[in-house]
Structure 1
Amino acid sequence: MVVGDIATGTDVLVIGAGPGGYVAAIRAAQQGLDTTLVERDAYGGTCLNYGCIPSKALITGSDLAHEAGHAEEMGIHADPVVDMSQLRDWKDGVVDQLTGGVEKLCKANGVNLVEGTARFKDENAVRIAHGGEGQGSETIEFEHCIIATGSRVIQIPGFEFEDEHVWSSRDALAADSIPDRLVVVGGGYIGMELSTTFAKLGSDVTVVEMLDDILPGYESDVARVVRQRAEDLGIDMHFGEGASSWREEDDGIIVTTELEGGDENEYRADKVLVAVGREPVADTMELENAGIETNERGFIEVDDFRRTEAENIYAVGDVVADTPMLAHVASKEGIVAAEHIAGEPVAFDSQAVPAAVFTDPEIGTVGMTEEEAEEAGFTPVVGQMPFRASGRALTTGHADGFVRIVADEESGFVLGAQIVGPEASELVAEVALAIEMGATLEDIASTIHTHPTLAEAVMEAAENALGQAIHTLNR
């Protein structure tokens, strides 16, 4: 033990206070376990501080500004002015309220909070290095540990985030001014959410993507709806191009991209936002001292209870292999890990994990696609309802997209859904519940849905799969 090092003990040590970690800590404490939560940056993690919440706040602000300025068809004429500094302050207020709430909830449930960076000494102890000169360190011994260190943005060569002209998603969400010209590297969900946001705020946006379409992992007709809307907003998209370098000029910067054949293109901008994905934060803890190895991509392997190869050490959230990087998945994994430590009969079940993309329009998915259902041995039946046939969608002025439900033809059990359109992130919850409960198409179709609502489109899609749709042509 080093000079000035003190040692304490705890039943459960949680490393990282993001959506996986703080939820795990609270649940462990609720189970009567002495619980300590270590965080080196900010309570709430990336999601609450630099990701999910601030991005949705800016999306809401940009949507409001754009709607107000483009409602002439409804007879509404306005020319809104966006004060980006004030919008940022409002966003920060939302974040502060939520992160402060996390800290209060942890304390109210009896969780011991420790600030610092944790590194394993062995499989039963970590050393916590406290930030700041002269703050020292302490050793915490534990019976069980839950790793919830999350993920960080991937940085590509030549685009260092320390430079004022190069933005990470975190930098973009902290901006106090709107760039006239913005180049976005990456057409995934983060890149497209922020591209749409800044286009609505008034930026001239260009997206460069190495693949041949935006939103890899989503079906082509789903991505097409979002791409067409982005083009309507004036976003210029270029595919099959990878960002290779950038240089500063008198009136901004020039971003150079390289095509597969070796040709190059150049795009003028004031800022370049790099949004090419995220990687796990598993290399800061000296895991080898606890007998834990990461896989070739840096993720930690776990079992159904979220246990690592060290049986008293668990891992949850973005740092875990073979699970989607989603805050709600991390929270569920945190609950499973904490309850398993407490002796409860639990396991992680990923049968119905919904996901959402907050583009314009939104995307909400859960379960299997038609192709995945076929690969799994089902004979799928598919029902679809276009929002252009939804009375409520038309009254909102947002009727692009559709609801699609996939089910097993023989049993009628709902297997999945793909929704692209207004409030898709909310609508997908009904189908997620249906899958979790083992509901059938008939269950959804026979449930009376409020009129006029967007949720009726879910019912109509189920009826369409049954060949009984009223408000759209049956397949």
Structure 2
Amino acid sequence: MQYDVIVIGSGPGGYVAAIRCAQLGLKTACIEKYSTFGGTCLNVGCIPSKALLDSSEHYYNAAHTFKTHGINLENLQVDFAQMVNRKNEVVAQTTGGITFLFKKNKIDSYQGVGSFKNKNTVVVKKTDGSEETLTTKNVIIATGSKPSSLPFIKIDKQRIITSTEALNLPELPKHLVIIGGGVIGLELGSVYARLGVKVSVVEFMDAIIPTMDRSLSKELQKILQKLGVEFYLGHKVTGATSDGNEVTVTFDSPKGEKMELKGDYCMVGVGRVAYTDGLGLENIGITVEERGKKITVDEHLETTVKGVYAIGDVIRGAMLAHKAEDEGTFVAEIIAGQKPHINYNLIPGVVYTWPEVASVGYTEEQLKEKGVKYKSGSFPFKASGRARASMDTDGFVKVLADAATDEILGMHMIGPRAADMIAEGVVAMEYRASAEDVSRMSHAHPTYTEAIREACLAATENRAIHI
């Protein structure tokens, strides 16, 4: 079969690339090794984790805030099996939606492992051992990533697990030890902490979510500690072993003291690594970077082989589903002869704890490092009428603006619905708005987004109204 474009991988980058190619009139195929579309995000990442996050938040509120709202409950219990079942139903509905979209856009799909015979020929090896050969003018590699580990820790998927297994535990743990204080570890850690599980986080760096603005890190740590999560920051893990029922995690303190934690499960959440195994890249002369197995691409996301592109987690940059989506659209339009653009500085980052954490643009630490003169304005949610009404008063919005021009350089927030609210910052920064521009826009009252306006007022000659 001859195609204009073959996409290898059906995660957020791959399926979006395939759909956009089809919209642009290109004959398109997508190859997926698993039985369902959607990649990590839809199957064992973004979507299932958010389903559990929402379920655990409902339970936590029922147990801790409903009485204040005037709602009295008796014999409140967690049906963890049903919680997991609901999560699985959400996943099935979402992945099934991709099947529908492929049919709607007349995209041919193949189940199996796709590999290069040459740059215009892709062989699909199916689960039954048979092979099918496809020819194409262009290929988009969108094979994503897999959970990373530490070389001295063996993942047994029973007691020493990754985020994938943490989404399908057969029981609620008594004590969950998490190695890594990044987004993945904190999101799943917060799920279990809200359900009454003891959660301990061991992190090598001296702060959680270390790539985000440090003020967000400090605030999130305080909030999670109120949930009962304990942190060991600046500690170096040296091992994790299991006897079948109990896990022992050993680590060194910043002073070199030998320490250990015992729990019934240990989740290794030290990030993800690009997945390029089995692609046959060597057959077309593509070499991956030694560290991280990432594929080198140019400004058009084209590899060193003409007509072969790569997007998402297999290339440079943050491993985010929405980054992959943007790149999928970008490459499809490049192939079609258009001239799209992506501003990587304006791709937001989000942590889906509760309250949520969201960030776009430069952090204060980055601006200081660059020597950029800036001003800062912030507004706490405890001063927000909407937040008081919903009992979501933790957190704040912080806006960083150029000291001379007032252009917004960064927006950072931790609070209710921050994942949705950050879009206002993205729009403002895409159009190079000043803090005063946003402060003069009407914001409905009472809403959480009023905090953004107030933070912009605070950055503009300290003019915040409600603090």
Change (3 A) 1:100 1:251: closer
Q: Structure 2, unaligned stretches of length 5 or more?
A: none
Question: Is the Cα contact below 8 Å between 2:30 and 2:107 reproduced in 1?
Answer: yes
Partner of 1:302: 297
Q: TM-score, with normalisation over the residues of structure 1?
A: 0.93
Question: Which piece of structure 1 moves more, 142-151 or 119-128?
Answer: 119-128
* More deviation, 281-290/184-193: 281-290
Give the structure 2 partner of residue 3 of structure 1.
none
Q: Look up the match of 2:89.
A: 93
Length-normalised TM-score, structure 2:
0.95
In structure 1, the residue matched to 2:108 is 112
Deviation at 1:408, TM superposition (A): 1.7
Q: Which moved more, 1:460-469 or 1:184-193?
A: 460-469
Are the aligned partners of 2:357 and 2:419 in contact in 1 as well (CA < 8 Å)? Answer: yes
Q: What is the distance in 2 between the residues matched to 1:90 and 1:379?
A: 49
Shift of 1:256: 2.2
Letter in 1 for 2:144: G
Q: CA deviation at 1:455?
A: 0.3
- Structure-1 separation of matches of 2:160 and 2:335: 43
Aligned to 1:146: 140
CA-CA distance at 1:283 after TM superposition: 3.0
- Aligned pair partner of 2:306 in 280, 300, 311: 311
Distance 1:373 1:261, change over 3 A: closer
Q: CA deviation at 1:354?
A: 1.0
C-alpha distance in 1 between matches for 2:245 and 2:278: 40
- After superposition, give the CA deviation of every residue in 1:128-155 in whole Å (9 maximum; x if it has no partner): 11113xx411221110000000000002
Contact kept in structure 2, 1:358 and 1:425, CA below 8 Å: yes
The Cα shift of 1:167 comes to: 1.4
Cα separation, 1, equivalents of 2:275 and 2:240: 27
Deviations 1:360-381 (A, max 9, x none): 3211100112343355564312
After superposition, the Cα gap between the structure-2 partners of 1:338 and 1:349, relative to the gap in structure 1 and judged at 3 Å, is same
- Sort the Cα spacing of 1:264 and 1:470 in 2 relative to 1 into closer, same or farther, 3 A: closer
Amino acid at match of 1:91: K
- Name whichever of 117-126 and 46-55 sits farther off: 117-126
> CA-to-partner distance for each residue in 1:109-146, whole Å, 9 max, x for gaps?
011100111111122112111113xx411221110000
Residue 334 in structure 1 maps to residue 328 in structure 2: yes
1:275 equivalent in structure 2: 269
Aligned counterpart for 1:469 among listed residues 440, 463, 467: 463
Residues 468 and 231 of structure 1: CA distance in aligned 2, closer, same or farther (over 3 Å):
closer
SS of the residue aligned with 2:158?
coil
The whole-number CA distance in structure 2 between the counterparts of 1:56 and 1:253 is 27
Query: Secondary structure of the equivalent of 2:102?
Result: helix
- Distance in structure 2 (CA, Å) of the matches to 1:331 and 1:292: 23
Kindly report which structure 2 residues correspond to 1:285-434, keeping only aligned pairs within 5 A, or say none.
285-297=279-291, 298-321=293-316, 323-376=317-370, 378-434=372-428
Contact 2:239 2:250 in 1 (8 A): yes
Aligned partner letter, 2:303? T
Q: 1:370 to 1:208 in 2, by over 3 A?
A: closer
Are the counterparts in 1 of residues 7 and 17 from structure 2 also a CA contact under 8 Å?
A: yes
Name the SS of the counterpart of 1:458 in structure 2. Answer: helix
Q: In the alignment, what sits opposite 1:37?
A: 30
SS, match of residue 86 in structure 2? helix
Instruction: State the Cα distance separating 1:294 from its structure 2 match.
Output: 1.6
| Partner of residue 160 from structure 1, selected from 154, 167, 184 | 154
For the pair 1:122 / 2:114, whether they are aligned, the reply is no
Distance apart, 1:243 and its partner CA: 3.1
Identity within the alignment, %:
38
- Give the equivalent residue in structure 1 for 2:193: 199
Query: Which residue is 2:19 aligned to?
Result: 26
Equivalents in 1 of 2:289, 2:151: separation in Å? Answer: 23
Q: Which moved more, 1:161-170 or 1:386-395?
A: 161-170
Return the offset for 1:436: 0.6
Q: Deviations over 1:176-198 (max 9, x none)?
A: 32111111111111111111110
- Whole-angstrom distance in 1 between the partners of 2:68 and 2:46: 32
State how far apart, in whole Å, the 2-side matches of 1:462 and 1:333 are.
31
Separation in 2 of the partners of 1:311 and 1:435?
34
Change (3 A) 1:13 1:250: closer
1:103 partner amino acid: T
**How far does the alpha carbon of each residue in 1:428-456 deviate from its partner, in whole angstroms, 9 at most, with x for none?**
11010001112222221111101111100
**Residues 10 and 86 (structure 1), Cα distance of their counterparts in 2 relative to 1, 3 Å cut:** same
Give, as a single letter, the amino acid of the residue that structure 2 aligns with 1:440.
S
- The whole-number CA distance in structure 2 between the counterparts of 1:469 and 1:176 is 53
